A and B are shown apart, each in its own frame.
Chain A
Amino acid sequence: MNQTTADVLQISALAAALALVHRPLGDYMAAVYTSRRHLRPERWIYRCVGADPDAEMRWPAYLRGVLAFSAVSLLFLYAMQRFQDRLPMSLGFEPISPDQAFNTAASFTSNTNWQSYAGESAMGHLTQTGGLAVQNFLSAAVGMAVALALVRGFARSRTGELGNFWSDLVRGTVRILTPVSVLAAVVLVATGAIQNFASPHEVQTLSGGGQHISGGAVASQEAIKNLGTNGGGFFNANSAHPFENPTGVSNLLEMFLLLVIPFSLPRTFGKLVGSVRQGYAIAAAMGVIWFAGVIAVTVTEYAHPGSASQLAGAAMEGKETRFGEGGSSLFAVSTTMTSTGSVNSFHDSYSGLSGGVLMLGMMLGEIAPGGVGSGLYGMLMMAVIAVFVAGLMVGRTPEYLGKKIGTRQIKLAACYLLVTPSLVLGGTALAMGLGDGEAAMTNTGAHGFSEVLYAYTSGSNNNGSAFAGFGADTPFLNTSIGLCMLLGRFLPMVFVLALAGSLARQSPVPETAGTLRTGKPLFTGLLVGAALIISGLTFFPALALGPLAEGLV
């Protein structure tokens, strides 16, 4: 089989698997979040928490739940790293420094999983499985909960009630993330991913040298790392490490895992608002952007521009033999556009233009298809903007799913859209202005600037991947990127929940001949256009200085 056929088949297989699974999974998730029954272990959990899972919350209460839980998680994870030398199974590692521990705690509770540390040489077993991997589950469940609250805002009328945060958090964890992770982790072990609690042990190699073979609960962390669109690798090499991602099969499974919930949630949304077409219009917009990114990066990497790649004969620097350019490009686009940030190849060594596409994927606000939960609410915020723009064109009050998009709604959506660009551009400018950005560069010139821009883009959009030549473990960078991650995660949630509350209070507007049909391909086109124009243009000047300057010169 030739290269092109294999790559076409690989992309098709991934798309087909998603098409096959999105329906049962989307319907299942809709059932999970609307069921009136509590499972026995869930009742037990609610008793421990001391919360009534049936008590409806208005948006401020829901938000307080989200923030309280995330704040406690942040502090707990910080403390765990600071005292890891006193914990069992610490492998003899020192406590993490205060700025790095803050950065990592912010990173994992915000579903970013930016890593300024190297797992194999810094984190003990308990910190990894009992701290970091726990937030892989819980930060993902928080994202899904907020998305569900927004969906309820559209689905409900004449009430301010958005559901119960504790119930959404627990159900997402217990009924969705955990069972799928168990299944995926076992399959990953079958392909060769390791799953043990051993310390690194030394072997004598045939050529007479010694080599330390690492141990760890890798497969279990790998499964939720991708399923929860987290991305924090057990090892520094992340999903390029053969113990995390041993074969072409595990590679396909990991890409499937990181895309499956984001591409299934629009179906859940459609079910809950009473029209699956509405969900498909959203999913189609996500799919179009993702697919365009896959084609752009794959074609560019095979063409291997860049003097070093040209000399070598292929763009294989920073890529693994078993994945090649095709399996690496597909993974790279999927991980940047889902806010996952796990990598099976190092993006820093991609050609300038490919690097630009990967950055643009994040800059669109992680909506194609975006992170678990955050992708759906991000795209719905964009839909509110798109409906508003369309309303301006024809001169009538815009409405979406029977809800008026008035002054308050558009203000909230606009505030949402302003948060990450401010953080990305402000953070990059600050780091460049103070010289901290330049000091951390591995590369020079335009590509060096791209490293800084990528770092703040990744942090603020909660992606977590990096142009990893960037030496991010300095007090300034740990602190500033840490703040970007927290503000980029929780400030948008405030606007999402406030919007959800305002929508839920409204009475539905009857559909008329003048209503924009938002379940049609035309709306999908409008949505893609809005995303590209609004977010794309915001970042065009910054992209011109980095990846475009590198790729076009």
Chain B
Amino acid sequence: MYTSMHTSGRHSGRLLWAAFRALLVLTVITGVLYPLAVTGVAQTVFHDRANGSMAEADGREVGSALIGQQWAGEDGKPDPRWFQGRPSAGGYDPLATGSSQLGASDKRLVAAVRAARAQVADFNGVPVSEVPADAVTGSASSIDPHISPRYARLQAERVARTNGLPETAVARLVEEHTEGRAAGFLGEPHVNVLKLNLAVHGLARE
């Protein structure tokens, strides 16, 4: 800690005491009043969004529309009745977000991508050349709620077959759930996997 030669110990003490009081009063403003004010507005005006954009089915909460999920059966393997999301470094656990962190030339990543390509191709009965990149790479958050429209279309036939639904009906759901770029140019076109699966769930129950 810097102290000038001209500053006596008592002077430094006074300065630190002033600094401490400044910190406290500014903490009240930026650490208490600010978040409370924003929370007040958010909870009043955007109640659902402020609380996580929760999605419901069968009269209960089944997740957040913004948080991706694992669509696995009891054996932990991908369940063919559901549209599948991207590979996840953390198993879609929102309490352990983050990615694989492997470099673009890393041997382990090459092996993981190769295995994922084979798995996705086999699972959906398509040639490996048709498997899109997002289906075989882990997202940044590990809870990416979206897949590319191409990956969704590729899964439609399988989902229709395993749910006993007409393929055209499921393909239509995919088109309905394809969201374009915001304002036409922001971000990428995507499909929300949970919302799409909820629609499939609804259709299968009818």
CB distance A213 to B64 under 8 Å? yes
- A305 CA / B27 CA spacing, docked (Å): 47
CB distance A120 to B181 under 8 Å? no
Q: Which of A271-279, A316-324, A371-379 contacts B (4 or more CB under 8 A)?
A: A316-324
- A321 CA / B46 CA spacing, docked (Å): 25
- A6 CA / B29 CA spacing, docked (Å): 40
CB distance B94 to A312 under 8 Å? no
Judge whether A439 is part of the interface by a CB distance below 8 angstroms: no
> Number of residues in B with C-beta < 8 Å to the partner?
108
For B82, give its contact among A133, A178, A207, A318 (CB under 8 Å).
A207
- A471 CA / B135 CA spacing, docked (Å): 27
Would A5 and B54 be within 8 Å (CB), given that A69-B22, A204-B62 are in contact? no
With most chain A CB atoms within 10 A of its CB, the pick from B12, B22, B42, B99 is: B22
Contact with B along A315-335 (1 / 0, CB 8 A): 111111111101110000000
- A129 CA / B35 CA spacing, docked (Å): 7
Judge whether A530 is part of the interface by a CB distance below 8 angstroms: no
Judge whether B43 is part of the interface by a CB distance below 8 angstroms: yes
Residues in B whose Cβ lies below 8 Å from that of A235: 97, 141
Judge whether B106 is part of the interface by a CB distance below 8 angstroms: yes
Residues in B whose Cβ lies below 8 Å from that of A323: 187-188
Contact with A along B23-36 (1 / 0, CB 8 A): 11111011110110
Would A345 and B140 be within 8 Å (CB), given that A220-B39, A318-B100, A443-B102 are in contact? yes
CB distance A237 to B141 under 8 Å? yes
- A247 CA / B67 CA spacing, docked (Å): 12
> Number of residues in A with C-beta < 8 Å to the partner?
126
- A64 CA / B54 CA spacing, docked (Å): 50
Residues in B whose Cβ lies below 8 Å from that of A447: 103, 105-106
**Shortest distance in angstroms between A357's beta carbon and chain B's nearest beta carbon?**
14
For A344, give its contact among B101, B140, B145, B148 (CB under 8 Å).
B140
- A351 CA / B70 CA spacing, docked (Å): 28
**Shortest distance in angstroms between B22's beta carbon and chain A's nearest beta carbon?**
4
For A317, give its contact among B43, B64, B99 (CB under 8 Å).
B99
CB distance A192 to B49 under 8 Å? yes
CB distance B110 to A308 under 8 Å? yes
- A60 CA / B54 CA spacing, docked (Å): 54
Would A251 and B186 be within 8 Å (CB), given that A121-B96, A307-B110, A314-B133 are in contact? yes
CB distance B38 to A352 under 8 Å? no
**Shortest distance in angstroms between B151's beta carbon and chain A's nearest beta carbon?**
9
With most chain A CB atoms within 10 A of its CB, the pick from B82, B100, B184, B201 is: B100
Judge whether B157 is part of the interface by a CB distance below 8 angstroms: no
CB distance A467 to B186 under 8 Å? no
Residues in B whose Cβ lies below 8 Å from that of A208: 73-74
Judge whether A186 is part of the interface by a CB distance below 8 angstroms: yes
Residues in B whose Cβ lies below 8 Å from that of A324: 187-188
CB distance B139 to A319 under 8 Å? yes
**Shortest distance in angstroms between A353's beta carbon and chain B's nearest beta carbon?**
10
Q: Which of A42-50, A282-290, A427-435, A514-522 contacts B (4 or more CB under 8 A)?
A: A42-50
CB distance A211 to B201 under 8 Å? no
CB distance B104 to A308 under 8 Å? yes
Would A195 and B38 be within 8 Å (CB), given that A200-B95, A321-B147 are in contact? yes
With most chain A CB atoms within 10 A of its CB, the pick from B20, B21, B35, B110 is: B35
CB distance B94 to A311 under 8 Å? no
- A120 CA / B67 CA spacing, docked (Å): 14
Judge whether A457 is part of the interface by a CB distance below 8 angstroms: no
CB distance A194 to B102 under 8 Å? no
Q: Which of A97-105, A168-176, A381-389, A392-400 contacts B (4 or more CB under 8 A)?
A: A168-176
**Shortest distance in angstroms between A309's beta carbon and chain B's nearest beta carbon?**
5
CB distance B137 to A312 under 8 Å? yes
- A534 CA / B96 CA spacing, docked (Å): 41
For B94, give its contact among A131, A170, A198, A200 (CB under 8 Å).
A200
Residues in A whose Cβ lies below 8 Å from that of B110: 307-308, 311
- A251 CA / B139 CA spacing, docked (Å): 16
Contact with B along A202-218 (1 / 0, CB 8 A): 01111111011111010
For A311, give its contact among B4, B7, B68, B113 (CB under 8 Å).
B113
**Shortest distance in angstroms between B24's beta carbon and chain A's nearest beta carbon?**
8
**Shortest distance in angstroms between A363's beta carbon and chain B's nearest beta carbon?**
20
- A343 CA / B69 CA spacing, docked (Å): 22
CB distance A71 to B16 under 8 Å? yes
Judge whether B51 is part of the interface by a CB distance below 8 angstroms: yes
For A68, give its contact among B16, B27, B97, B133 (CB under 8 Å).
B16
CB distance B102 to A236 under 8 Å? no
Would A247 and B62 be within 8 Å (CB), given that A237-B97, A241-B97, A317-B109 are in contact? no
CB distance B187 to A49 under 8 Å? no
Residue of A nearest to B57 (CB): A206
CB distance B30 to A134 under 8 Å? yes
Contact with B along A122-151 (1 / 0, CB 8 A): 000000011101100110000000000000
List A43-72 residues whose CB lies under 8 Å from chain B.
Answer: 45, 48-51, 60, 63-65, 67-69, 71-72
CB distance A130 to B27 under 8 Å? yes
CB distance A243 to B181 under 8 Å? no
List 17 interface pairs A-B (beta carbons < 8 Å), by A numbering.
A48-B22, A50-B18, A121-B95, A129-B35, A189-B42, A203-B61, A206-B201, A209-B72, A211-B93, A219-B42, A235-B97, A237-B99, A240-B139, A247-B187, A313-B133, A349-B102, A349-B109
Footprint of A on B, CB under 8 Å?
A: 1-4, 6-7, 12, 15-27, 29-32, 34-35, 37-39, 41-43, 45-46, 49-54, 57, 60-64, 66-74, 79, 82, 86, 92-106, 109-110, 112-114, 117, 132-134, 136-148, 181-188, 190, 194, 197-198, 201
List the 9 shortest-distance A-B pairs measured between CB atoms, nearest first. A248-B187, A306-B104, A469-B101, A248-B186, A240-B140, A314-B133, A324-B188, A237-B97, A195-B42
Footprint of B on A, CB under 8 Å?
A: 1, 5-6, 9-10, 13, 45, 48-51, 60, 63-65, 67-69, 71-73, 76, 118, 120-121, 129-131, 133-134, 137-138, 166, 169-170, 173-174, 177-178, 181-182, 185-186, 189-198, 200, 203-209, 211-215, 217, 219-221, 223-224, 235-237, 240-243, 246-249, 251-252, 304-309, 311-324, 326-328, 343-346, 348-352, 442-444, 447, 467-469, 494, 550
